[in-house]
Amino acid sequence: MRRIKAILQASSAVIVVASSLAVGLPLPARADTAHVPYLVISQLKITSSNGQFITLYNSTGSTLDMSKYQLEYFNNYDLGKATSSRLISLSGFVPPHGYFMVNDSSLTLCFQLTVDSVSLGLSSTAGLVEVLAFNQSSPGGSVSPDLQDYVGWSKTAAAGAQTLPVSTNAFLQRQPVDIANNPAIATAGSGSWQTVQPDANNICGLVGANGTTVIQTGLSQLLPTSEPAAAIVSLNGDDAGVPALAAVMPPADIGLMAPAITELLPNPAGTGNDATDEFIEVYNPNDTVFDLSGFALQVGTTKLHSYLFPSGTTMPAHGFTAFYSSITGLSLSNTGGQAKLLDPFGNSIAASAVYGTAKDGLAWALANGKWYWTTKLTPGAANVINQPPASKKAAAKAKSAKAAVKAKAPKKTKIKTAASSQYGGDDPASTTPIHVWTLALVAILALLYGAYEYRTDLANKVYQFRRYLAARRVDRP
């Protein structure tokens, strides 16, 4: 009996390999059943009309570098029927017993997670995704994939696939779970799935299909931030490593929105000193105090420098706090750079736009989702955007360019009409050059009018010419 079962398994493997080669798809990685998966698929949302995401859970006690993992996607749970596939690269880090979400739209859940936004494009009819870890025996050696977990799905009930929820807000959550509601999966692909959706009455809860609430205890997440108010007054139209971060989210921050970086001063004016007067402003959008213990500020684009907030550093509710270089020791480059806010796990949760050359005394500030240079410095208060006037050099350059364009433009003949004289302007239609046939017609009409006015004189001239010709005939011998 065991021999027959082994033969059947081997035959199945041959069929899968043949099917994969026939459609040109990559072969799925083999599962190593000797170890418990340490990167588990925890949640799956496929409905394309309302966003897609895949949530992964780190079941180990170590931080995982997600650049060493990939998702492999097939557009059918049956590999023999799949017509396309692709590998989805990941980036970032996931802390011990933390969550990592790969999504293509915004989602608010009470999770301790890293979000990696990519274009998923998963089929909402049928599909399969598996998590692969890549191992290399030695530098330059071959790389072998190790299957961590997988799940197949179908819009309708089918053997070997999870049935997708009908509601666009619902998604699938892995079962069973441990005492902290984290997935407790012994082997790849094992366990079951239940349909859940966010609980409108509990920010850290999920409602099951039977109406019961699944509380997400022991988890924490910084929710998407909200931008503070700002006033736009005028627009001119125109390698120090990251410090060792404590991988612990302050309990007071659980369920709060992430702070936002709102203003930078890279180049203080006048008597300003770069070493003491530069600042990075951070805004707390929450109704309660935000604990920055273990968070960090990071500056630079290629050569990075960081400042780790000491334990006990807090920000007031709906407050702006300016962190000066005299305290942080961070220097903002005058020739271009960026500032970021990192959470205790080293993930970037807020960042300024990258700026260019910073002029004396101008702040790089956020307003209405965009970043502007402004002459109004507002450390510790809502931003006021007042862009500096264009420089004389820039204005002269723009005027020169305008003159060059005007010189190249073809000249147009203007005819001042009665209408244009009456209203003191030019009739737009009168600036069109006169067509040659129009001139010819005017000339013909002028000749005809002259012939009519001098018809008698012309008749006399014709009569005299005829008499002259007759006289010459008579005089001929």
Q: What is the 3-state secondary structure (H, E, C) of 190-211?
A: CCEEEEEEECCCCCCEEEECCC
Q: How does DSSP classify residue 441?
A: H
Q: How does DSSP classify residue 302?
A: S
Q: Is the pLDDT of residue 33 over 50?
A: no
Q: What is the pTM of this model?
A: 0.46
Cα distance between residue 128 and residue 136, in whole Å:
26
Name the token pair of 341: 């806010």
Q: For tokens 């700026």, name the residue.
A: 355
Cα distance between residue 331 and residue 397, in whole Å:
33
CB of 404 closer than 8 Å to CB of 420: no
Over range 331-354, report the average pLDDT: 89
Residues ≥6 apart with Cβ < 8 Å to 289:
252, 314, 315, 316, 317
- The whole-chain average pLDDT of the chain stands at 76
Coil, strand or helix: which one is 362? coil
For position 240, what pLDDT does the model report?
Answer: 41
pLDDT tens per residue across span 227-240: 677 776 666 554 44
Coil, strand or helix: which one is 458? helix
Q: Is the pLDDT of residue 222 over 80?
A: no
For position 215, what pLDDT does the model report?
Answer: 55
Residues ≥6 apart with Cβ < 8 Å to 38:
58, 59, 60, 64, 148
Residue with more model confidence, 350 or 29 = 350
CB of 283 closer than 8 Å to CB of 320: yes
The one-letter code for the residue type at 310 is P
- Beta-bridge partners for 305: 299
Residue with more model confidence, 87 or 470 = 87
For position 72, what pLDDT does the model report?
Answer: 93
Q: Is the pLDDT of residue 206 over 50?
A: yes
Over range 274-289, report the average pLDDT: 91
Q: For tokens 């002269």, name the residue.
A: 396
End-to-end C-alpha distance for the chain, whole angstroms? 145
Pick from 84, 86, 79: which is nearest to 15 by CA? 79
State phi, psi for 166 to the nearest 5 degrees. -80, -40
Name the token pair of 313: 């550093």
Name the token pair of 380: 């510790």
For position 421, what pLDDT does the model report?
Answer: 34
Residue with more model confidence, 382 or 179 = 382
Q: Is the pLDDT of residue 323 over 80?
A: yes
Question: Of 21-35, 388-402, 412-426, where does mean pLDDT reach its minimum?
Answer: 412-426
Q: Is the pLDDT of residue 11 over 60?
A: no
For position 61, what pLDDT does the model report?
Answer: 84
Residue with more model confidence, 263 or 8 = 263
For position 259, what pLDDT does the model report?
Answer: 92
For position 451, what pLDDT does the model report?
Answer: 72
Q: Is the pLDDT of residue 473 over 90?
A: no
Question: Of 36-40, 69-73, 218-222, 282-286, where does mean pLDDT reach its minimum?
Answer: 218-222
Cα distance between residue 291 and residue 397, in whole Å:
50
pLDDT tens per residue across span 127-154: 999 999 988 888 888 888 899 999 999 9
Over range 91-96, report the average pLDDT: 82
- Beta-bridge partners for 313: none
Secondary structure of 263-280 in HEC code, one letter for each residue:
EEECCCCCCCCHHHHCEE
Over range 235-247, report the average pLDDT: 49
Q: Is 176 exposed, middle or buried (CB count within 10 Å of its CB: 0-12, 13-18, 19+)?
A: exposed
Residue % of the chain over a pLDDT of 70: 69
Residue with more model confidence, 442 or 280 = 280
Q: Is 267 exposed, middle or buried (CB count within 10 Å of its CB: 0-12, 13-18, 19+)?
A: buried
Q: Is 344 exposed, middle or buried (CB count within 10 Å of its CB: 0-12, 13-18, 19+)?
A: buried
Question: Of 2-16, 255-269, 366-380, where does mean pLDDT reach its minimum?
Answer: 2-16
